[in-house]
Structure 1
Amino acid sequence: MTTFTAAHLPAMNGRTVVITGANSGIGLAAARALAAKGARVVLAVRDPDRGRTAAATLTGDTAVQRLDLADLSSIRAFAEDLTEPIDVLINNAGVMIPPLARTADGFELQFGTNHLGHFALTNLLLPRIRRRVVTVSSNGHRTGTLDLADLNWERRPYRAFAAYAQSKLANLLFTSELQRRLTEAGSPVLATAAHPGMAATNLLGHLDRDPTPLGRLRTALTGLLSQSDDDGALPTLYAAVADVPGGSYAGPDGFLEGRGAPKLVGRSKAARDGTLARRLWTASEMLTGVGFPLMATKG
């Protein structure tokens, strides 16, 4: 079996790929690889100036458009402005383990950005998506639980990593329920998910600022076990173009899925719970005011 690398990407001429959070990290690495293969890559970023700086490092057809996933009005404006057909949407942007903060709409920041923002964006863009929706999750989802009565941490004492794990579990539940709905609607679009392993991106920058002995040890282990942004982007690229079934989940093949070549990987029992996925979808529709736009094909 051939190991998948960026060189195995097919020619992408004539295809449009939208990548959220594409101004740095694995999002930028994925944008670089896809643009080099001829795709038109739309960098959907919160800071257009940083986006333009990032786009200037890419070779190929790129565009930069403002998108703040922590603000539903920004998501709606982005979806209204982007009128061209989209071949692949890569839901890559995310926040990791910040202090308690809330989005413009009052959602807990990690759940609101990592899940609800991408939930709303995907459903608003779905009528124009032709091939695939890829959502970036994390191995951290394995410790995640979903409290449907308190998704936004308004009653529980806030725990940053638990909130992060909840948002990453939500990413996988969203992918599976999206695929179920796409199949029911007779759509050819596939929903897939990926995780980068332990990629040395700016999401992990907070570890470098921990001066305690445990913090220094954690930083050293991160450097030892993590992989580059380019390698961390490979599972995302694999989920975007490889011949994989809808609802599949890609990650590295190495020790504890921390690094290595991309392959299909497993997920937690909670992430395989179809009933929970449907309940989360219903809650997400209520919170965002955005629903699934495709009608089921009549038999």
Structure 2
Amino acid sequence: SGAELVKLAGLYDPGKRVWRMPHTHFSMLDYNMPLLFPAGARPPHGGARPPDANPECQAQQPGSIIKCQSQILGEALEPVGTEHQLRYQSNRVPGRRAAYAYDIRLSGDAIPDTVREIRLEVYVAGRRYFYTFDPAPNRTFTFEWDGEDAYGRRVQGRQPITVRIGFTYDMHYGFPRGLRGERGGSFGAPGDASTFAAVARARQEGTKWVEFTGAIGTLEVSALGLGGWGLDQLHVFSPIDHTLYLGDGRRIDRSDVVGVVEHTAGKGCDESVWAIDEGPALERCVTPSAIAAGHAGEVYFIEAGNKVGVVTAEGMIREYADVPARLEEIRVGQDGRL
């Protein structure tokens, strides 16, 4: 109508195009066109930094406690009148920021011309970090974590980190498959490869993501309450990355401990066991109800309810005790007694 044309002339500048479509009711037809990424759109080719140097390759030069590969400085003091050492390791103090930095490659040698923005999401210790960057090839970013979780608490040990890198594009309207030679509406229908070209750019953007995981952080001995020093016989285990931090400054990494079983004693039994089957441990029938490790490499176990056996460090099974009462648990004390 004339009134509509006057209204449109006041809303839009000359040369603008408007899609006008009459509706008699709103219950049957839906003209929501599906969104499509521009041609050539793809997710980033970015990724994480190379893995850390082999923790077992930490040579030291004579007369020093400096690990050459990781540039870690160590000190050892023997308090008078004790058999232990106070140990200092520069990689276990708050000032060692290298463990809290994570290098991220956002883009490769080339990126599509239609990339509007590069987005980065980082998740660690219950916190989310979000960054945006102008599109450019070979762009990198170093994420620096303060070592605190979502509640502001200091977190100990290496923590899992999730990184998402995305290329953001201007979306375009596409033809619904249901409207190209087939009957049916367009609501929820995926688009095909055809678009309305640049004149039908959607007022919406889309992002193609790539995601990877890693680890960040380290153990800080300040949590032990010894003024930044550790004790050579005080060890800390990090269950997240299966790392044992030894008090003498070393660490033992086991990246895959799940499903690894070391056979030390016993074999399959076809019948109930009522006595200790003495002899070579790997050849004897053992059905223990409880076990405990001794201080000299031996393993004690309960058999048949009231019998205690021991697997010696030499790999032999011997009967250790036979008691009248039924046994439920077994423990080894500090003095070596059961």
TM-score (norm 2): 0.19
Question: Which of 1 and 2 has greater Rg?
Answer: 2
* Larger RCO (CA under 8 A, 6+ residues apart): 1
Name the TM-score, length of structure 1 as normaliser.
Answer: 0.21
